Structure 1
Amino acid sequence: MRYTFLILIVLISCLTSCRKDFETVASNGRLEFSRDTVYLDTVFTNISSSTYTLKVYNKSNDDIQIPSIALEKGDNSKYRMMVDGMTGRDGKGTFFENVEILANDSLYVFIEATAGIEEANPTDFLYTDKILFDSGSRQQDVDLVTLIQDAYFIYPKRTPNTEGGYTYEGLSLSDNDPKITAYLLDENDPKNGNELHFNNTKPYVIYGFPTVPSNKTLIIDAGARVHFHDQSGLIVANNASIHVNGAPSMTAALENEIIFEGDRLEPEFSEVPGQWFAVILTDGSTNNRFKNLTIKNATVGLFIQNNDGTNVEIENTQIYNSTVAGILARTGKINGKNIVINKAGQYALACTLGGNYTFTHCTFANYWSGGPRSTPSVLLDNTFSDGETLFIAPLEKATFTNSIIYGTNSIEIGLKKNDAAAFNFDISYSLIRFSDTNNQFTDAIYDFVKNPTSKNNIVSNFRTPNEPKFKNPQKNNLKILSTSSVIGKGNPDLIIPFDVDNVFRTSPPDLGAYQHLNE
């Protein structure tokens, strides 16, 4: 032990004798930067950006001191900086004095922006500034550039309370539901005008749960973009309706597609699941239509609860990256054509507590990569349990034709039948992923996959892969290649003339929502 202690003393002495006193010299104007311009990705007006990083290098052999690091617009700038953990003079993040960098070392500058459309250049909507390092002949600079996008902001009204904060308007969906930040859309809103008619002149950004009032219809024009803030959604109330009127697009800009997604516009958020909650069609909503719509990055894309005697018409609709389900229905009534769903934490499609469903030329796939998944891509269930009570309702009809039910699991169709209520379904002219290697599913209800030719189905299992040959399912590209096993296997009597991309279908048609690619 004594010798170990002596060795430590010697080492410490050596290290101390070699140590510099860190005396600094003035900056020589030869700093180097990780980039000449920091582009902060597009943000909505007055919404804070993500934090971006600039690295500053001192590649000299001297410890240096930078007299000042400042934003050119000073305290009026809409940018904020943090330099190596410091917030600068007065904590404003706009001016820093006597910043040191050791020889052959570096420091980090973190940058954010919160700017309004009125502060941007009116010709290109860019808001700009510069970071100035030092002054005079030794001054160096880095440009800052942010694109500001104007939008309609829809949020609950608030009133000041006696405690100095605000009370937000809210409502309960029923007598048994807790009050949430839900509020009625206003036909005569002082800022947004008619909130029951979303146009395509600029995007809509939604906070909380705006609700379509009873006996009213929310109309959304082709080309509209709707962005939902964290944990927000859209509610269609009893006797209310929503008409999503998208149309086929002619270019890659999807100029006529309607898109629902989160409000983070940075590229790294473009495919992140669970950024907002859901579009909710509540008990008794009526005459709902969705056409040429893309829903991305929700918890549940469409949550359909016991809509009235009318069908929810869903056509040419794509739903991606849902943490729970693409479509979750409870006693729903859906007529679906050219639907594409992929990447859901549990189900691409869950038809629970019975209902009445017709799906034609649909692709229900699940290539979820966010963790293990034990649930099938498609679930048919005539029950629902809230944890204490089991509810049962008849599955009047669930018809799948000319469709694909597929994914990364061995079994991608789940049937949960309670004999106390009807359980009627029919799957024909479809490709189904069903590899029952242990022969667990022997009930006659599975005859559509055990004896697939009786229903003109194609089964993908261990012995007969029968792959759909999606182009790139991990990137939500479920177009089928020319080597797919589903080409020309559909029922021509039930053909939908154009696919989800408005491409003319040949007859007999391919299965799924897409006409195959010639590649």
Structure 2
Amino acid sequence: MNRYLLRLLAVVAIVVALFSCEDEGYLNSPDAQLRFSADTITFDTIFTTIGSTTQRFTVHNPYGENILVSRIRLSGGDFSSFRLNINGEVGNEVYEIEVPARDSIFIFVEVTIDPNGQNLPMVVQDSIEFTTNSNIQNVQLIAYGQDFKLVKGETVKTTTWTAEKPYLVYDYAYVDSTSVLTIEPGTRIYFHKGAGLYVKGKIKANGTFQQQIQFLPDRLEDSYKNVPDQWNGIVLFSGSHDNVFNFCVIKNANIGLQVGTIENEGYASVKLTNSKIENMAYAGLFAIKSKIYAYNGLIANCGFYAVALLVGGEYEFYHTTIANYWGNFSTKARSTSSLVLSNVLIIKDSKGGSTTYSGDLGKATFGNSIIFGNNTQEIELGNNNKNEFNFLFENCIMQVADTFNTSNKANYKNVWKGVKYDPLFIDPYIELNYQLDTLSPAKDVGKLEFGEQFPLDILTKDRTGDSGPDVGAYERIERKNGR
């Protein structure tokens, strides 16, 4: 009896509100239609139990009279995974919302998805129902959820991370000096803001072209897909040897991959192949007195340095594309070079003093590679004239000033420098596509020996099928019609 009475009172209240509209000057036509800035609100993959970012849409009154929306509610009610803020009022059901003539109100939507124990993504749906003059309209809500394995401030012993479910790292994951972290092909590792992966032991991240290993931030909405500085990055401490990253993607951190640490003895070493490091706030690849062997790599779009090789070390890069067109995410222009080679590092302290670190640059070889960007000088050399400083650019396209001296054949063999040798990437600014245009001067000018040593490019295209290998990570193969 009480439930019936409550329902009756609610109906009476709505009817009274509707009839009072005419007295208060509201549009009371049953044909009145609100207009929505979107008819469906979609949330990209959301980790279960982790709340989404807030999305919003507008509800517009196109008429010359005010409209009173008698009710706005989530169809799923209190059992819905979604939450609403209706023009500043928090609640999943709100009555008598006025929309002024030819004006709009805002609806804000969030979602938290409960785990279901399954590995595959799940879909959660609901709708927002608007009742105006007995006329009902709906905006659909769709969210895709994903269960995950949480790693929070954890010391990782020898183990294998699998592709069964994604991993979500909070704070840090630390691989101690006696342990090996093996990561299977297809594994996805997401990092919360401020989190990082720190390795004193070893990491073996060996993906495949079809199943690449991804190191990404945990904000998966489309608006975050190329935003840097969403997590700290990966650090290989000095003393960490024989690390492997093959067919890996590292995106949107502060420093993508740091190899070596100044405060630790010894060096770090890594084999970095068929991998991409993109959209870093500070540096893509930052190495200190270490050893790197790399080929088929893309390192792009970094706020300071794409690649910094400091305090000496031994480095080999073949068929590597270093492309730095920073600027889409910051109003501050980049004043640094994309590639820095140095046998010295000076660190200043807060008291005005400084500490100098130096080491022999035993080898820094760049073969069949591209170093280019939107600055005039994209290569910086730092030599203290005390330690060894050995480097070689061979069959490379380089963005340097015309005054940059490349006459020493011990350091430069078959190099093409300056803006007239722009490699003509397909779209380095918007789509961040660093493949070569059909008119690129990088086509077919690579050293044949390097092309035969690495016959497949980063997309597994054959470098040996035309008149010569292209320089950089991508091979341009023309179709018969020239496209």
Shift of 1:454: 8.3
Paired with 2:339 and 2:121, the residues of 1 have a C-alpha distance of 46
Mark the CA change 1:501 to 1:293 in structure 2 (over 3 Å): closer, same or farther: same
Mark the CA change 1:61 to 1:468 in structure 2 (over 3 Å): closer, same or farther: closer
Paired with 2:120 and 2:381, the residues of 1 have a C-alpha distance of 57
Paired with 1:491 and 1:393, the residues of 2 have a C-alpha distance of 30
2:372 aligned residue: 406
TM, length-normalised to structure 1:
0.79
Shift of 1:139: 3.4
The Cα offsets for residues 256-310 of structure 1, whole Å up to 9 and x where unpaired, read as 1111111111111111111111100012112100101111111111011159567
Mark the CA change 1:489 to 1:59 in structure 2 (over 3 Å): closer, same or farther: closer
Which of 30, 33, 53 is 1:31 aligned to?
33
The Cα offsets for residues 34-64 of structure 1, whole Å up to 9 and x where unpaired, read as 2332222221112211222232233344433
2:96 aligned residue: 98
2:49 aligned residue: 46
Unaligned runs of 5+ in 1: 1-20, 88-92, 157-182, 188-195, 250-255
Shift of 1:24: 4.2
TM, length-normalised to structure 2:
0.85
Mark the CA change 1:58 to 1:490 in structure 2 (over 3 Å): closer, same or farther: closer
Q: In 2, are the aligned partners of 1:432 and 1:457 still within 8 Å (CA)?
A: no
Paired with 1:516 and 1:453, the residues of 2 have a C-alpha distance of 30
Provide the secondary structure at the position in 2 that maps to 1:494.
helix
Paired with 1:274 and 1:245, the residues of 2 have a C-alpha distance of 25
Identity among equivalent positions (%) equals 33
Which of 179, 194, 204 is 1:231 aligned to?
194
Q: Does 1:385 align with 2:346?
A: yes
Q: Does 1:211 align with 2:166?
A: no
Shift of 1:373: 1.3
Shift of 1:359: 1.0
1:261 aligned residue: 216
Paired with 2:79 and 2:113, the residues of 1 have a C-alpha distance of 11
Which of 151, 155, 158 is 2:152 aligned to?
155
Higher strand share: 2
Q: Does 1:332 align with 2:295?
A: no
Which of 126, 130, 133 is 2:130 aligned to?
133
The amino acid of 2:215's aligned partner reads F
Paired with 1:508 and 1:36, the residues of 2 have a C-alpha distance of 52
1:197-208 matches, cutoff 5 A: 197-208=160-171
Number of residue-to-residue matches in the alignment: 441
1:374 aligned residue: 335
The Cα offsets for residues 192-219 of structure 1, whole Å up to 9 and x where unpaired, read as xxxx312112211111111112211111
Paired with 2:115 and 2:186, the residues of 1 have a C-alpha distance of 21
Unaligned runs of 5+ in 2: 1-22, 349-353
The Cα offsets for residues 134-193 of structure 1, whole Å up to 9 and x where unpaired, read as 39953333221111112222113xxxxxxxxxxxxxxxxxxxxxxxxxx30256xxxxxx
Q: Does 1:482 align with 2:441?
A: no
Q: In 2, are the aligned partners of 1:29 and 1:140 still within 8 Å (CA)?
A: no
Paired with 2:360 and 2:121, the residues of 1 have a C-alpha distance of 57
Paired with 2:455 and 2:397, the residues of 1 have a C-alpha distance of 20
The Cα offsets for residues 437-487 of structure 1, whole Å up to 9 and x where unpaired, read as xx4x5xxxx4xx24679843222226xx12222222223322223322222
2:472 aligned residue: 512
1:109-508 matches, cutoff 5 A: 109-118=107-116, 125-134=122-131, 137-156=134-153, 183-185=154-156, 196-237=159-200, 240-249=201-210, 256-305=211-260, 311-369=269-327, 370=330, 371-387=332-348, 388-436=354-402, 439=403, 446=405, 449-450=406-407, 455-461=412-418, 465-474=420-429, 475-495=431-451, 496-506=454-464, 508=468
Paired with 1:328 and 1:119, the residues of 2 have a C-alpha distance of 39
Mark the CA change 1:499 to 1:123 in structure 2 (over 3 Å): closer, same or farther: closer
Q: In 2, are the aligned partners of 1:185 and 1:213 still within 8 Å (CA)?
A: yes
Q: In 1, are the aligned partners of 2:30 and 2:134 still within 8 Å (CA)?
A: no
Structural RMSD (CA)? 2.6
Paired with 1:491 and 1:286, the residues of 2 have a C-alpha distance of 30
Q: In 2, are the aligned partners of 1:36 and 1:142 still within 8 Å (CA)?
A: yes
Mark the CA change 1:104 to 1:510 in structure 2 (over 3 Å): closer, same or farther: closer
The amino acid of 1:332's aligned partner reads S
Provide the secondary structure at the position in 2 that maps to 1:354.
strand
